[in-house]
Amino acid sequence: MIGIGIDIGGTFVKFFVLNDRGNILHTEKMETDYQKGADGFIEQLSDFINRMKIQHTGQPIAVCVGAPGAVDNQNGVLRYNPNLKFTDVTNWPIAQLLYDRTGILPRVVNDATLAAWGVYETDLHRQGTNVLVVTLGTGVGGGLILQRELYQGSNGTAGEIGHMKIADPQTGPLCGCGARGCLEAFVGSIGLKRRALQAAAENPDSLLAQLLPADDNFKIEIVFRAAEQGCPAALRVWEDTGYYLGIGIANAVLTLDLDTVVLTGGVSGAATYFMPALERVLKAQTFKVPFERLKLLISKNPDVGGVGAALYAMHASSK
Ligand SMILES: [Zn+2]
């Protein structure tokens, strides 16, 4: 069997073709093309699938599409996605549109959920029974493996840890989703920027303040570089990141009695600086047992989303 994973992002689309032994046979990457509208975009995805059908004639092919945003996984519909700049994509029936053009009905799943499956198969080799994977990037996504199966919830939205409230929703910081007090508003890229600018303003002589550009061209990498040089203000930003992440992860562990939590995504590269504070939050919990046994790991594989999509396509179709 051949698994095709298509990871749709706001800027890039990544294609992964794997065989059922988990070997990557082929990858492609293209910029998300807004020129020809949503229909033209579907044509591009269909072209890829049809090319792979010809290349792998005679073999069964399973396809899974990962999309950021709210996915109706039962019907293969992308309900809503703020990061895709097509004007006409509310309730977008991706599965049906691709089926009409390729004859293969793909699964459509939230991208962070598929990243969780990718981590479960490639990093954990299916070790662990109840696993949360947190994707730390521009946004904060989450995916769950419960009882060794991908758990998508009642509506396909399970694992949205980024929008868990860790502060007062009346007065907490504003999140990209429009609400206040979400975990993402603290540790997503917008939250990190807000706290870094605040730290620089409070410590105008710090290296962090010197490295931050005068224009709005903030990059998380700057806070990372300042921390590497030992800048206390930057180190504090990462320490607070670990503290807030720890609150969110502790809430998830208390709810689900997880045995493994894996952090992935760009920001997890700064783990050296935020892990000690995160671990302190977990250690301070009064319900000791689930936290004593919890495995906390970092995945540095940048392709878990697309690889997870291809692997999940094959796993789900073999059930
Ligand atoms: Zn939110």
Task: Read off the pTM.
Answer: 0.93
CATH topology of domain 127-298: Nucleotidyltransferase; domain 5 (3.30.420)
Q: What is the mean pLDDT of the chain?
A: 95
Expressed in angstroms and rounded, the spacing between residue 184 Cα and the centre of ligand 1 is 6
How far is the centre of ligand 1, averaged over its atoms, from the C-alpha of 301 (Å)?
26
Ligand 1 centre distance from Cα of residue 175 (Å): 5
**Rounded distance from Cα 182 to ligand 1 centre (Å):** 5
Residue 180 CA to ligand 1 centre (angstroms)? 7
Q: How far is the CA of 81 from the centre of ligand 1 (A)?
A: 13
Query: Measured between alpha carbons, how far is residue 19 from residues 16, 121, 157 in Å?
Result: 10, 14, 28
How many C-alpha atoms does 14 have within 13 Å on its Cβ side?
Answer: 16
Average the pLDDT over each of 38-52, 83-97, 270-284 and give the range with the smallest value: 83-97
CATH 3.30.420.40 positions along the chain are 2-116+304-317, 127-298
Per-residue confidence band for 131, with pLDDT thresholds at 50, 70 and 90 = very high
Nearest-10 crossing angle of helices 111-118, 304-317: 80
- Sheet containing 61-67: which strands, arranged edge to edge? 24-31, 12-19, 2-8, 61-67, 107-110
The CATH homologous superfamily for domain 2-116+304-317 is ATPase, nucleotide binding domain (3.30.420.40)
What is the edge-to-edge ordering of all strands in the sheet holding 295-298?
149-151, 140-146, 131-136, 260-264, 295-298
204 Cα to the center of ligand 1, angstroms: 30
What integer pLDDT is reported at residue 185 of this predicted model?
97
